[in-house]
Structure 1
Amino acid sequence: MSTLTIRKIPEAILERLKAAASRKDHSMEQEVRELLKKKYATTPEIAARIRKRWKDLPKTTPAKVKTWRQVGRP
């Protein structure tokens, strides 16, 4: 596996990166790896993420969709 060094990261971005890593209880290095993996995912990886999110969505009916289209979603 390769190593990458990044210089001159703006302080505001670095702080957000630290905060995100802290929320997930892992290192900034791991956070950057995950961001890069997500950004440069392959088509099958993206499709798998979409399928997973689709399963997590609340179920609905055609009647509800019709109502949303007519009056706007609450």
Structure 2
Amino acid sequence: MATLTIRNLPDELIERLKASAKAGNRSMEQEVRELLEARYQQKSDLIQAIKNSWKELPETSAKEMDAWRQEGRP
């Protein structure tokens, strides 16, 4: 596993990270690791999350889609 060193972070950012880590009962290192993992998900996981969110949308008929396409057109 690799190691990443980040220099010159603003003090305010460090304080926010510490507060967030403390609230989640995590170390600041674990907090940053989880933030990075959430931000840079595996492509397949991200695609699956998008597909799952589509399931929650109401179904749209072809007639509705045609009406939307025509909306605002002369």
Q: TM-score range by the shorter chain?
A: 0.5 to 0.7
Q: How does 1:49-60 map to 2 (within 5 A)?
A: 51=52
Aligned counterpart, 2:70: none
How far apart are residue 46 of structure 1 and its match?
A: 2.8
C-alpha change, 1:48 and 1:31, in structure 2 (3 Å) is farther
Task: State whether structure 2 residue 34 is matched by structure 1 residue 29.
Answer: no
Q: Deviations over 1:19-62 (max 9, x none)?
A: 000000010000010011011102332355564xx6xxxxxxxx
* Mean CA deviation greater in 21-30 or 37-46: 37-46
Task: Return the index of the structure with the highest Cα Rg.
Answer: 2
Aligned counterpart, 1:6: 6
C-alpha change, 1:31 and 1:49, in structure 2 (3 Å) is farther
Letter in 2 for 1:10: P
How many residue pairs align between the two structures?
Answer: 56
Structure-2-length-normalised TM-score: 0.61
Letter in 2 for 1:5: T
Q: Give unmatched runs, 5+ long, in structure 1.
A: 55-74
Cα RMSD for the two superposed structures: 2.2
Q: Give unmatched runs, 5+ long, in structure 2.
A: 54-74
Structure-1-length-normalised TM-score: 0.61
